């Protein structure tokens, strides 16, 4: 009878420990999956901006080309991306460059904010 109670206590302790550590264990598994898995590119179904300069619309941020860009005319301008279905955001590639004037000197740079939905 004592052996049965010891085994039962061990099983209950393991179940309680598993239950208490489940969120941490799940986070560890998800982090490992993100690090070891291969990221897949996801393209938004729509792209909107609070403002943009002529010839540089917000859709130029998702075309995969490095020679086109969204131009933010004012500080605080934002881009909003809407996706078809939820996904795990593992990596974001956001090449940025400081605009240059015709003389080649850096000009004022408008900061921007990006929003994902």
Are 6 and 47 within one domain? no
Distance between CA atoms of 74 and 70, rounded to whole angstroms? Answer: 12
pLDDT at 97: 54
Are 6 and 57 within one domain? no
Which pLDDT tens digit goes with each residue over 97-107?
555 445 544 44
Are 23 and 49 within one domain? no
Are 78 and 104 within one domain? yes
Which pLDDT tens digit goes with each residue over 15-56?
888 877 788 878 888 888 888 888 788 888 999 999 888 988
Range in 11-15, 57-61, 90-94, 97-101 with the lowest mean pLDDT: 97-101
Which range marks the domain in which residue 105 is found?
Answer: 39-117
Are 46 and 27 within one domain? no
Distance between CA atoms of 53 and 70, rounded to whole angstroms? Answer: 8
Side-chain-side CA neighbours of 79 within 13 Å: the count stands at 22
- In contact, 61 and 70? CB cutoff 8 Å: yes
Are 116 and 70 within one domain? yes
């Amino acid at each position: 009878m004592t052996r049965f109670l010891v085994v039962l206590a061990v099983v209950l302790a393991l179940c309680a420990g598993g239950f208490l550590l489940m969120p941490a264990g799940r986070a560890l598994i998800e982090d490992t999956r993100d690090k070891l898995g291969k990221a897949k590119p996801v393209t938004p179904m729509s792209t909107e901006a609070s403002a943009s300069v002529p010839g540089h619309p917000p859709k130029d941020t998702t075309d995969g080309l490095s020679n086109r860009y969204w131009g933010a005319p004012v500080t605080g301008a934002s881009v909003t991306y809407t996706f078809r279905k939820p996904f795990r955001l593992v990596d974001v590639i956001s090449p940025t460059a400081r605009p240059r004037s015709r003389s080649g000197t850096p000009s004022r740079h408008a900061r921007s904010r990006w929003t994902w939905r």
